[in-house]
Structure 1
Amino acid sequence: MSTPELSASLEDYLETIFFLSREDGVARPKDIAGRMKVRAASVTGALRALGEKGLINYEPYASVTLTEEGREIAGKIAVKHEALLHFFTQVLGVDASEAEEFACSMEHTIPDHILQRFVRFAEYTEKCPAFNASWQESAEGYFCKAQGSDTKRCETCRLPEA
């Protein structure tokens, strides 16, 4: 069986159902609408489309559940979202709300092999011998600084001067 083609919007609905089910144990259409800040009619249309693709179990006025295939696809989308969000907030120091917005838009287009490079780089910064390095912004530009260090630059990384 091949993976159904999904628009970014339908992926967002699938991901929202995934997170609501994980957090609350159930995903109701009104909760989906609230989380996504859309009208109930939009949710109904999206749920019908996802149901037709075999990714959710949907009956009007009932809770929504993911099928096995839907859970697998939604899980992959969620992993991408969380990896990008982590990279933006923990590695680049981007504000959480701005990071959330960009992670949500990028998760639909980033190829798996590039995402893996993001993840490996984030892991490197967390395991840096200089004790949890992160990118810091200064008047001179960006540089790698060991968190908790009084020194400006991370000498262990041996990054070139900005």
Structure 2
Amino acid sequence: PTPKQIEGPSGQNLQLHFRSTLSLPLFTGGKVEGEQGSAVHVVLMDAVTGQVVTSGPESSIKLDIVVLEGDFNNENDDDWTEEEFESHVVKEREGKRPLLTGDLQVTLKEGVGTLGELTFTDNSSWIRSRKFRLGLKVASGYCEGIRIREAKTEAFTVKDHRGE
């Protein structure tokens, strides 16, 4: 039995989504960007209507960008919990610099946001799945008490810039 979706105040089922496909492969020290060097856009959607949420307090929240295990949610089941998401967040290796550097937050405007400069400092060969995903979640202090489902990208490999 699947847990009932937690609904927003007006019965909305709110979800964050990455609108862009990342340009792959990614290399350490290289900029994370969309295909053909385009910006990476993110949106807040109402899953019931499929529309972008352009008004209300949720449409201008701040989001945190995190790195996820590549094998997070392989089932393509779109109904994970906040706890499942948090348990797959990847931190840097011991003694290393933060795994992802740059603009680690994005602010939505009328339900749409654009990622700033982001760079991976380490490759993805050391974690079990050997792949990462980018994830998006609501920053603390915003939309307390409303469940907004996090976003994730496809799994991807990050290679050392030395061309291994």
Structure with the larger strand share: 2
- Higher-Rg member (1/2): 1
Task: Indicate whether the TM-score tops 0.5.
Answer: no
What TM-score results when the alignment is normalised by the length of structure 2?
A: 0.26
Structure with the larger helix share: 1
What TM-score results when the alignment is normalised by the length of structure 1?
A: 0.26
Greater RCO (CA < 8 Å, at least 6 residues apart): 2
